Chain A
Amino acid sequence: MMNDPTALQISQVSKTFVMRDRSVQALTPIDLTVKAGEFVCLLGASGCGKSTLLSLIAGLEAPTTGVVTAGDAPVVGPGIDRVMMFQDAALFPWLTVQENVEFPLRQAGHSKAVRAATAREWIERVHLAGFERSAVHQLSGGMRQRVALARSLAINPAMLLMDEPFGALDALTRDRLHHELEKLWSATRKTILFVTHNVREAVALGDRVLVFSPRPGRILGEFRIDLPRPRSLEDMAVIKKTAEVMDVLRGALEAAPGELEGAFI
């Protein structure tokens, strides 16, 4: 993987939100390089700026300082080479499952036949064949995230930006979606940035885990996870590695009390 091209280059990127009477620094200047095909987990408590970082990469917001470079072009706005997934699957309730998955293809101007075929293929790949004509509200939370995954991948982006997409799901559903995400990732070799506040989820999924400190967000530490795949939350190796990460975090917590309190569950 050493020779893989750089998918994402973040140099001195920071974000300060200016409100009426005060400004809040969400992200201190951050440097980060992600290789193509890499699965990177951003780990941190809510409000540590990791979601902000995803929005900056997605181009939904502009950084206060620094430059985000995706592929070989600087990010100046949203682009379908970087697709974001949200905790709320953000499916469009006025569209069916099939139409939701076709949505990005339609924006890209693909023909009706291509749209239908591509959407059907991805709906099958996330195991929702038979639900093409279902309305969004008829689906469970896990099924909605599957549709969101199909919708994101249908447009064939280079990068998936996942903002706690499984955060609201029950443990069993979450576990299954981990497996499927890992499988899809292995098959497609997309670059994935996955935001979570769950240490074990981060260890189970990531090639690399970046730990963020809260308020203002900065990268506190980095762990390379070299465990064999496919992994599961129950693997002894994953559990051991999680404990290792937690130990380091606890050390950091003692060094800077208060900073990480209540950060990880």
Chain B
Amino acid sequence: MSIQKTPALTTRATHTTLTRRVIFFAAILIVWELVARSGIWESYLFPGPLVVGRTLIDGIVEGEYLHAALISLQRIVIGYGISLVLGMSIGALIARNSILEDTIGSLVVGLQALPSVCWLPLAILWLGLSERAIQFVIVMGALFSIILGVRDGIRNTPPIFVKAARNLGATGFTLYVQVIIPAALPSIVAGLKQGWAFAWRSLMAAELLFFSLSLGNLLQTGRDFNDAAGVMAVMMLIIAVGVTVNQLIFAPIERRIGERWGYAAASN
């Protein structure tokens, strides 16, 4: 009766992964720099990583990029927060009620097929070029993934857990909070993560059309000024924000669930 652990193996695997990644990305940067210097395209249209890197650092040092990133982050925190509250409640309701499932459930599945940026024209017609229009698009991006993740998780709770729990005295609300929700957690987290990814995409697309400072807007400004290095630098920044949120929020949650449930955490 002993629990086997193989720390040596895990560490070696991590090292291998790290080495592969470093080599891969270094190769990309080198090829990119070489192509940029080869003169195939004009250098103002296709700047190399050194130029883009310098633009990025300058942008950050001057404060404009961070300011823009903060504005975008603030928007997504609000929009995603609204989606979180709405999505969890609607998902939980749909999962437990067949009338809601047959009606709202199918509506959600349908709306999920519509890229949320398609809501932007309507949002602008209804709400003007306002923060509320942007929030609306973010919510349309994140909401349905969250609803479906919560619904699927709750609906697919293994019946044996519910049986065992009722048998051990769990009823009503506690059964829901202590058994059904935890059992649904992997699916819920997957829905939250997908919702976040969609929300981030929607926000960037929406911001392209707006005139106030934001990450998406910086891309548009770069285009207007024929500044490909600026566009690429902002793209890097957008990637960095997305990856950071994933690493700081979703990856640790997934790792914890994976460790507890005994399957390998979704790779980062």
Which of A95, A107, A131, A134 is in CB contact (< 8 Å) with B169? A107
User: Does residue A88 face the partner (Cβ distance < 8 Å to B)?
Assistant: yes
Which of A90, A108, A135 has the most chain B CB atoms inside 10 A of its CB?
A: A90
Q: Which B residues, 227 to 258, have Cβ-Cβ distances below 8 Å to chain A?
A: 257
Asked whether B259 lies within 8 Å of A78 as measured between CB atoms, the reply is no
B165 cross-chain contacts in A, Cβ below 8 A = 92, 103
Contact A80 to B168, CB < 8 A, known contacts A93-B261, A136-B262, A137-B262: yes
Docked Cα-Cα span, A95 to B262, in Å, equals: 12
Return the CB mask of A90-121 against B: 1 if under 8 Å, else 0: 10111100000001101110000000000000
What are the 8 tightest A-B residue pairs by CB atom distance, in nearest-first order?
A: A137-B262, A107-B169, A104-B168, A90-B164, A94-B182, A80-B169, A78-B166, A90-B160
A104 cross-chain contacts in B, Cβ below 8 A = 168-169
A78 cross-chain contacts in B, Cβ below 8 A = 166-167, 169
> Can you list 10 A-B pairs, Cβ within 8 angstroms, ordered by A?
A80-B169, A83-B167, A92-B161, A103-B165, A104-B168, A104-B169, A107-B168, A131-B1, A135-B260, A152-B168
Interface residues in A, total, Cβ within 8 A: 31
Within the complex, what minimum Cβ distance (angstroms) separates B236 from chain A? 38
Chain B residues with CB under 8 Å of chain A are: 1, 3, 160-161, 163-171, 174, 178-179, 182-183, 185, 257, 259-263
Q: Which A residues, 124 to 181, have Cβ-Cβ distances below 8 Å to chain B?
A: 131, 134-138, 140, 143, 151-152, 155
Docked Cα-Cα span, A60 to B171, in Å, equals: 12
User: Does residue A211 face the partner (Cβ distance < 8 Å to B)?
Assistant: no
Which of B1, B160, B161 has the most chain A CB atoms inside 10 A of its CB?
A: B1
Within the complex, what minimum Cβ distance (angstroms) separates B182 from chain A? 4
Within the complex, what minimum Cβ distance (angstroms) separates B17 from chain A? 23
Asked whether B3 lies within 8 Å of A86 as measured between CB atoms, the reply is no
Which of A83, A107, A134 has the most chain B CB atoms inside 10 A of its CB?
A: A107
Return the CB mask of A52-89 against B: 1 if under 8 Å, else 0: 00000010100000000000000000111011101010
Asked whether B160 lies within 8 Å of A108 as measured between CB atoms, the reply is no
Asked whether A107 lies within 8 Å of B170 as measured between CB atoms, the reply is yes
B170 cross-chain contacts in A, Cβ below 8 A = 103, 107
Within the complex, what minimum Cβ distance (angstroms) separates A227 from chain B? 30
B169 cross-chain contacts in A, Cβ below 8 A = 78-80, 104, 107-108, 155
Asked whether A90 lies within 8 Å of B179 as measured between CB atoms, the reply is no
Within the complex, what minimum Cβ distance (angstroms) separates B80 from chain A? 24
